[in-house]
Amino acid sequence: MAVKRLIFLILGCVCLGLGTIGIFIPILPTVPFYLATVFCFSQSSQKLHDWFIGTKLYKKHLQSFVEKKGMLLKTKLSIMTTVTLLMGFGFFMMAKKEIWIPCIILMIVWICHILYFVFGVRTIKNKNVE
């Protein structure tokens, strides 16, 4: 049993790191990695699980999604704006060098990302709404 807990502990730490990097690099998805972190920490240590659920990272990026199956409009707009700015910069730099295939791929990824947040993630109007 100790080996299983150790494996979940290591996976939880890796997912926490990747999710945190995903805050700054929009190619890495934050929410799925934080969901995996919650699961792995719950399987390895109740103290780690309780700690992670109490962090600002969890509360800002995941709590509304986990509890209410949606995100606040402010959170969604923040994510979409950051992704648009960073991907737009990458698109501009590649277009400037006339590298068109990656530009097309980046545009497709951006469109899918925006469509997912607009239509795939439910918008919560108010924090107090149940």
Residue 127 scores a pLDDT above 70:
no
User: Which residue type occupies 55?
Assistant: T
Instruction: Give 57's Cβ-side CA count (13 Å radius).
Output: 19
How far is residue 37's CA from residue 40's CA, in Å, rounded to a whole number? Answer: 5
Closest CA to 38 of 25, 27, 52, 26: 52
pLDDT of residue 104: 92
Q: Residue for token digits 């607009």?
A: 118
- Greatest Cα-to-Cα distance within the chain, rounded to the nearest angstrom: 55
Q: In this predicted model, what pLDDT tens digit does every residue of 109-124 receive, in sequence order?
A: 889 889 988 898 888 8
Closest CA to 18 of 7, 3, 1, 32: 32
Q: In this predicted model, what pLDDT tens digit does every residue of 13-30 receive, in sequence order?
A: 998 898 888 878 767 777
Q: Residue for token digits 């290591």?
A: 10
Predicted TM-score (pTM) of this structure: 0.56
Helix, strand, or coil here: 126? coil
Report the alpha-carbon angle 67-70-76, nearest 5: 130
